């Protein structure tokens, strides 16, 4: 169906654009929005940790015990909608956890000692049905954030805050699904329209090519007929007297190829002269035809490519445009050298 290179290129570009949409959503848009959720959750955790700091650190910069901070922690968890909360001392020991069974455990993970203990927050999005940073199985989408507790540039402990972001991720997935499906539907409609348009274009191009081929065949056939005529024939521009086309007989008579004939003036080719033919010796039939608008015949002396002289009968037939203005003429010559020579011989011999 897509026969020409232009149509195939347009079709390929359209397919690439349509295919790129879900790829961009999956590999660019979705990670960017997920990272935004993680960053916002981390910022929330940092702000919350700043508020919690005074509740868990003593005046001499020591971590309070679980019994001292449990009530405050439980209250803050309820207020801020925190899924889970832990407090670590500087060695990584859990001094408080919303899950009391975890109190006393020690976090020996590299990220805790090489990142959090250096005073930098550490956050990760934990996907539903996967393991957390502490290798605990989670059944929802969770943002897990570690926020260091610093006093006089010294690491004294850390908060581990879990945010349930299942709804946010679900909403994000819904938005991205719509962002994929709706444009995909639009692309599909445009795709159908493109197929129809390209189909029509190809049909039109095929018809044009068929007509061009038919016209070429007609021209070739006409040219064969033109070249098969044994009389020298040419078509001359009526304004500047230049030869526009000529049959093979004419070209072989007055030159060696098209370059010797086409674009040259008729008087330069047939008369070997540099100016227009003039009466009385060389009256121009083209001028007479322009004046009368009718065919004109006249006897001339022509010189072939070997500069041999011959007597010819020249006939010109006018070609007019749609406004009736004569624009070109068909120039046909007939060699009458034999007739003229016989007549001249008869005149010389006189009556017997």
The answer to whether residue 9 is domain-embedded is: yes
The answer to whether residue 266 is domain-embedded is: yes
The answer to whether residue 275 is domain-embedded is: yes
pLDDT of residue 58: 64
Q: Per the structure, how many domains does the chain have?
A: 2
The residues, ordered by sequence, that sit 6+ positions from 113 with a Cβ below 8 Å of its Cβ are 92
pLDDT of the chain along its 352 residues, tens only? 555 676 677 778 877 877 787 777 777 877 887 788 878 877 887 777 777 776 776 666 666 666 667 777 777 777 777 888 888 988 999 988 888 888 889 999 999 999 999 999 998 888 877 887 777 777 788 888 899 988 888 898 898 988 888 888 888 888 878 877 887 788 788 878 877 887 887 788 889 989 999 999 998 998 999 999 999 999 999 999 999 999 999 999 999 899 999 999 999 999 999 999 988 878 999 999 999 999 999 999 999 999 999 999 999 999 999 999 999 999 999 999 988 776 655 555 555 5
Chain center to CA of 6: 10
Minimal CA–CA distance to 146: which of 189, 107, 184? 107
Do 95 and 24 lie in a common domain? yes
Do 15 and 130 lie in a common domain? yes
The answer to whether residue 93 is domain-embedded is: yes
CA distances from 175 to 27, 31, 35, 143, 212 (A): 15, 13, 15, 20, 53
Structural domain for 145, as ranges: 5-171
The answer to whether residue 195 is domain-embedded is: no
Minimal CA–CA distance to 116: which of 62, 63, 64, 42? 42
The answer to whether residue 212 is domain-embedded is: no
Do 125 and 10 lie in a common domain? yes
Does residue 239 sit in helix, strand or coil? coil
The answer to whether residue 73 is domain-embedded is: yes
The DSSP bridge pattern shows strands 122-126 and 142-151 to be antiparallel
Do 156 and 261 lie in a common domain? no
pLDDT of residue 125: 86
pLDDT of residue 168: 82
Report d(CA 186, CA 141) in Å as an integer: 32
- Angle, nearest 10°, between helix axes 30-56 and 166-228? 160
User: Domain end: 171, 195, 211, which one?
Assistant: 171
CATH number reported for the structural domain that contains residue 317 in this entry: 3.30.450.20
Does residue 79 sit in helix, strand or coil? helix
User: Domain end: 125, 153, 171, which one?
Assistant: 171
User: Domain end: 171, 205, 240, which one?
Assistant: 171
pLDDT of residue 347: 55
* Structural tokens at position 200: 């029509």
The answer to whether residue 332 is domain-embedded is: yes
Do 167 and 234 lie in a common domain? no
């Amino acid at each position: 169906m897509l026969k020409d290179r232009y149509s195939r290129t347009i079709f390929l570009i359209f397919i690439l654009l349509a295919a790129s949409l879900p790829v961009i959503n999956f590999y660019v848009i979705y990670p960017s929005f997920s990272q935004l959720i993680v960053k916002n959750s981390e910022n929330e955790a940092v702000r919350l940790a700043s508020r919690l700091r005074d509740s868990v650190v003593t005046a001499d910069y020591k971590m309070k015990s679980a019994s001292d901070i449990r009530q405050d922690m439980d209250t803050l968890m309820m207020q801020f909608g925190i899924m889970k909360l832990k407090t670590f001392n500087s060695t990584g020991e859990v001094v408080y956890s919303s899950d009391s069974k975890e109190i006393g455990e020690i976090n020996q993970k590299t990220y805790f000692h090489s990142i959090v203990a250096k005073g930098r927050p550490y956050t990760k999005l934990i996907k539903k049905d996967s393991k957390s940073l502490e290798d605990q199985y989670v059944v929802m989408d969770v943002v897990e954030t570690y926020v260091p507790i610093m006093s006089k540039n010294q690491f004294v402990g850390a908060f581990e805050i879990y945010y349930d972001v299942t709804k946010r991720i679900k909403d994000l997935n819904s938005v991205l699904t719509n962002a994929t499906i709706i444009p995909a539907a639009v692309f599909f409609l445009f795709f159908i329209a493109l197929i129809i348009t390209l189909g029509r274009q190809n049909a039109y191009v095929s018809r044009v090519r068929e007509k061009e081929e038919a016209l070429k065949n007609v021209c070739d056939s006409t040219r064969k007929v033109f070249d098969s005529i044994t009389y020298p024939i040419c078509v001359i521009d009526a304004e500047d007297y230049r030869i526009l086309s000529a049959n093979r007989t004419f070209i072989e008579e007055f030159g060696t190829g098209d370059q010797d004939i086409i674009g040259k003036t008729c008087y330069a080719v047939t008369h070997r002269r540099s100016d227009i033919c003039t009466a009385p010796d060389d009256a121009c039939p083209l001028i007479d035809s322009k004046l009368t608008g009718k065919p004109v015949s006249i006897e001339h002396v022509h010189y072939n490519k070997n500069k041999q002289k011959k007597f010819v009968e020249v006939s010109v037939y006018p070609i007019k445009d749609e406004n009736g203005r004569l624009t070109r003429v068909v120039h046909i010559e007939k060699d009458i050298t034999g007739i003229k020579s016989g007549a001249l011989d008869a005149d010389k011999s006189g009556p017997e």
